[in-house]
Amino acid sequence: MTALAVLIVAGPLAGPLAAAMRARARVAGLASVAGALVSLAAAIALLAAQLHRAPLRGWAGFLYVDSLSGFFLLTVAGVTLLAAAGSVAYLSAEEDAGTLSAFQVRLYFIFFGLFAALMLASLETGNLGLLFVLVEASTLASAALVGLEGKARSLEAAWKYVIISSLGVTIALAGTLFLFYAGSALHLTSDQRLTWPYLFAHAAALAPQPLRLAFLLAVVGYGTKVGLAPMHTWLPDAHAEAPSPASAMLSAALLNTGMYAIIRFLAITQARLGGTFPRVVLLAFGFASVVVGVLFMVRKGNFKRLFAYSSVEHMGIIAVALGFGGVLGLYGALLHTLNHAIAKAVLFLGSGDVALRYKTREAAGVRGLLTAAPVAGAALLLGSLAVLGSPPFGLFLSELTIVRAGFARASPVLPLLLLALLAIAFIAFARTTMGMATGHEAVPEDPYQGRAAHWTSAIPLVVGLAALLALGLWIPAGLNTAIMHSMAAIT
């Protein structure tokens, strides 16, 4: 079991290893894919083993994997595989076109692998201090990816990202301190007791006042990484300026890692203070994020920014689902996490092909994608339908569950408001992506003839869309059990 946990983290390091040995983009990319495949297989095996056993503990509480960690590990490992597969085609094309130097390509694969490994590791630790260390380290690794191109715009985005996220995560560390203050009656002297399972089991002994502060600081702090409004300002810039596979990792893996930390704090707070206080906090931040995300999606412009604001919106939806609470709310939140991760990975990877082909990230410059690049065009169209929650894709199911969770609460006002916002999001988002997919192609002056049209770039898109479709029609029994077990672990 421990070996599996180690394997999950070690898998993504294959890419950096290959890059350190001066491999070219194609080889380093294939090494990344192989590593991510190992990591995903190990995550599935661990989650399956987890369903029949007590949580995996070890190394004085530094290693702790229960079903909730297992579920998030599965999500992040899956996204890493998709993004690694996307990186092969994207980085080879950039290398061939000379946009990125060989050194930059090597840096990309080194930081890509580190970023994935650090995120996976942060999901495997039970120690709240180590969680901070790993999350901050993953911020730094991903900031290097955002600033990779070295142009003024990408450096600006990277600077904003690293300074805002570092401040946010430091605030989360202050929240962790207050959690420890709250637990001073527990004599938190051994490493074993600083872990979240111990604090969760002994929540009754926590002091309420510092705990309240701890939860607020944790939501603000880790919420910065999640991209909850009003701490979301780094998110659109970073997503727009990073290379597309890295944007997919940011949106579909990093944001979820932050949400995982919030869920851990939520579980402890709920066990001591009851549901009302944490729910109000999460509903407030959640609705703020949905509103901000939707409002900025109305603007036409850079399509990667559009997808980024859609991430803000969806993270808001997940926070709202946690705020609604109950069995339906939690189930919806977890299912939505997985669905959104896959859908956003497909969209960002597809957008990478589009950006390479048209040499622009402006939606207005892209027309007739369906005829020009059928695979990328179809992925963009189906991916946006999926991300907007149309049936038969998985997000329809999870959003329906979340709205039902809202109606199960006393007041129908909030779920109705959510539905209205989702409708606006649909119109705003589809208006842009429909325009990109249909119509006549404005032939680029210097048409791109590289590997972006190569079949390897289509694999992650097709696999991701198939998974989304499958999740919309049928939730595998194993996944269902995993989600139910995850919910049992935090209530």
Q: Is 209 in the site for other proteins (CB under 8 A)?
A: yes
Q: Is 448 in the site for other proteins (CB under 8 A)?
A: no
CB burial string 220-254: b at 16+ within 10 A, e below: bbbbbbbbbbebbbbbbbbbbbbbbbbbbbbbbbb
Q: Is 162 in the site for other proteins (CB under 8 A)?
A: yes
**Least distance in angstroms from the C-beta of 368 to other proteins:** 26
Select the residue interacting with other proteins from 41, 49, 55, 170 (CB under 8 A).
170
Stretch that binds other proteins, among 31-39, 168-176, 253-261, 454-462 (CB under 8 A): 168-176
C-alpha distances in angstroms, 434 versus 152, 329, 384, 443, 453? Answer: 31, 32, 9, 18, 21
**Least distance in angstroms from the C-beta of 175 to other proteins:** 10
**Least distance in angstroms from the C-beta of 169 to other proteins:** 9
Q: Is 147 in the site for other proteins (CB under 8 A)?
A: yes
Take residue 372 and report the two structure tokens written for it.
């020009």
Q: Is 237 in the site for other proteins (CB under 8 A)?
A: yes
Stretch that binds other proteins, among 162-170, 251-259, 322-330, 425-433 (CB under 8 A): 162-170
Q: Is 464 in the site for other proteins (CB under 8 A)?
A: no
Q: Is 304 in the site for other proteins (CB under 8 A)?
A: no
**Residue with Cβ nearer other proteins (53 or 151):** 151
**Least distance in angstroms from the C-beta of 374 to other proteins:** 31
Q: Is 365 in the site for other proteins (CB under 8 A)?
A: no
**Least distance in angstroms from the C-beta of 295 to other proteins:** 11
Interface with other proteins (CB under 8 A), residue total 55
Take residue 439 and report the two structure tokens written for it.
């119509």
**Least distance in angstroms from the C-beta of 27 to other proteins:** 27
**Least distance in angstroms from the C-beta of 184 to other proteins:** 4
Select the residue interacting with other proteins from 140, 400, 417, 430 (CB under 8 A).
140
Stretch that binds other proteins, among 237-245, 256-264, 361-369, 461-469 (CB under 8 A): 237-245
Three-class DSSP category at 30: helix
Distance CA 65, CA 71 (A): 10
Residue with tokens 């600077």: 159
Select the residue interacting with other proteins from 3, 53, 101, 151 (CB under 8 A).
151
Stretch that binds other proteins, among 25-33, 74-82, 143-151, 481-489 (CB under 8 A): 143-151
Q: Is 151 exposed, middle or buried (0-12, 13-18, 19+ CB in 10 A)?
A: exposed
Q: Is 57 in the site for other proteins (CB under 8 A)?
A: no
355 with 244: CB under 8 angstroms?
yes
Select the residue interacting with other proteins from 14, 158, 335, 483 (CB under 8 A).
158
Q: Is 299 in the site for other proteins (CB under 8 A)?
A: yes
Three-class DSSP category at 188: coil
Take residue 226 and report the two structure tokens written for it.
């999640």
Pairing between β-strand 63-65 and β-strand 56-58 as defined by DSSP bridges: antiparallel
Q: Is 177 in the site for other proteins (CB under 8 A)?
A: yes
Distance CA 186, CA 90 (A): 52
C-alpha distances in angstroms, 326 versus 10, 313, 413, 433? Answer: 36, 21, 17, 35
Q: Is 274 exposed, middle or buried (0-12, 13-18, 19+ CB in 10 A)?
A: exposed
Distance CA 50, CA 44 (A): 10
Q: Is 67 exposed, middle or buried (0-12, 13-18, 19+ CB in 10 A)?
A: buried
Q: Is 320 in the site for other proteins (CB under 8 A)?
A: no
> Per 3-state DSSP, what percentage of the chain is helix, strand, and coil (rounded to 5)?
80, 0, 15
Three-class DSSP category at 63: strand
Contact footprint for other proteins (CB under 8 A):
60, 62, 127, 129-130, 132-134, 136-137, 140, 143-144, 147, 150-153, 155-160, 162-163, 166-167, 170-171, 173-174, 177, 180-182, 184-185, 187-189, 191, 194, 207, 209-210, 213, 236-237, 240-241, 296, 299, 301, 305
